[in-house]
């Protein structure tokens, strides 16, 4: 059965870059959470950039995953920045108030620059 | 125009995407906007996820029943489970409320349903199940009927 969500992680200095592709729902949330947590615990990560450019669908299960990782990033003294968010996902972020705690910028380069990564 | 469909499936998380995709395919005949289609997919996903996580506590022997009725520009959706039911519906629909914080739930499911639809109603009987009824009028396709 085809996976409805794929993702990759890339380490850029102390920033973990997460790129999500596809659909993020309850079915996909647990695996993403586990994989993401293992990167947060690798000792190299302080900040996180999440690229949502290719996330075509998300429901409140996704909000739970982002909120959970936001708390973990805060615990290690870092920041979480979202980039390339599309209109549909943006609506859910607005509705849930997540933009009050997580900054959104236009693209990956802007997000990395915000967190002090030299490109 | 009027049309109707009914689908019942196992309460497995793999079926969350099946459920929203199926409803989206059925309502495509109303020629919804991309935004309306996303709203419907999202609320179906929320209600089915609730049935699986809360109604059945991930016991995959349960089933979820979706009925969808189209009448002119109006869609009526009911999503029903035969599981635990909700003791206190008023508490459950509060934004950010979750009965399962350990599962990293955002508590936004009912808030999203209320926001994305015109009408939202829950009927729940403890130990018998929960029925969520959602209605919406599509606005974009007036020209097809005028």
Query: Where residue A1 falls among pLDDT bands split at 50, 70, 90?
Result: very low
Residue A119 lies in a domain: no
CB neighbourhood size of A99 (10 A): 14
Q: Give the minimum alpha-carbon distance from A15 to chain B in angstroms, rounded to a whole number.
A: 24
* pLDDT one-digit tens code per residue, B79-132: 999 999 999 999 999 988 899 888 888 899 999 999 999 999 999 999 999 999
Distance CA B53, CA B144 (A): 40
In a domain, A87, yes or no: yes
Count of the separate structural domains present in chain A: 1
* The total number of structural domains that make up chain B: 1
Q: Give me B115's structure tokens.
A: 């926001």
Q: Is residue A102 part of a domain?
A: yes
Please tell me the distance in Å from B46's CA to the nearest CA on chain A: 7
β-bridge pairing B129-137 and B74-81: antiparallel
pLDDT tens, A58-95? Answer: 999 999 999 999 999 999 999 999 999 999 999 999 99
| pLDDT of B75 over the 50 cut | yes
Half-sphere exposure of A110 (CA within 13 A, CB side): 11
Token output for A78? 């870092």
Only one residue has tokens 């993020």, namely A24
Domain that holds residue A82: 5-114
Strands B74-81 and A5-12: unpaired
Does A52 fall in a domain?
yes
State the ipTM, two decimals. 0.93
3-state secondary structure of B89: helix
What pLDDT is stored for residue B105 in this prediction? 87
In contact, B85 and B127? CB cutoff 8 Å: yes
Specify the pLDDT at position B140.
Answer: 67
What does the alpha-carbon distance between residue B78 and residue A25 come to, in Å, rounded to a whole number? 20
Report if residue B114 sits inside a domain: yes
Give the residue on A whose Cα is nearest the Cα of B44. A59
CATH number of the domain to which B61 belongs: 3.30.565.10
- Domain boundaries, position B23: 2-138
User: Percent helix, strand, coil in chain B (nearest 5)?
Assistant: 40, 30, 35
Out of B67, B69, B74, B105, the active site residue is B105
Is the per-residue pLDDT at B3 higher than 80?
A: yes
């Amino acid at each position: 059965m085809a996976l409805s969500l794929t993702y990759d992680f890339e380490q850029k200095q102390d920033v973990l870059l997460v790129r999500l592709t596809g659909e993020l729902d309850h079915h996909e949330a647990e695996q993403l959470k586990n994989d993401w947590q293992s990167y947060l615990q690798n000792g190299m990560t302080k900040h996180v950039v999440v690229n949502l450019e290719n996330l075509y669908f998300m429901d409140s299960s996704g909000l739970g995953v982002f909120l959970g990782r936001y708390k973990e990033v805060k615990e290690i003294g870092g920041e979480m920045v979202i980039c390339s968010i599309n209109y549909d996902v943006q609506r859910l972020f607005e509705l849930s108030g997540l933009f009050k705690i997580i900054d959104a910028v236009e693209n990956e380069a802007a997000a990395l620059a915000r967190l002090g990564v030299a490109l | 125009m009027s049309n109707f469909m009914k689908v019942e499936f196992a309460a497995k998380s793999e079926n969350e995407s099946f459920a929203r995709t199926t409803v989206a395919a059925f309502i495509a005949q109303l020629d919804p906007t991309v935004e309306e289609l996303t709203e419907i997919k999202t609320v179906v996903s929320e209600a089915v996820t609730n049935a699986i996580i809360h109604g059945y506590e991930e016991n995959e022997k349960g089933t979820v029943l979706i009925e969808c009725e189209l009448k002119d520009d109006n869609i009526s959706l009911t999503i029903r489970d035969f599981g635990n039911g909700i003791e206190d519906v008023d508490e459950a629909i509060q934004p950010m409320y979750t009965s399962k914080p350990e599962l990293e739930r955002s508590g936004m499911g009912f808030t999203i349903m209320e926001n994305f639809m015109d009408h939202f109603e829950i009927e729940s009987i403890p130990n018998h199940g929960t029925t969520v009824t959602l209605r919406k009028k599509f606005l974009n396709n007036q020209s097809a009927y005028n």
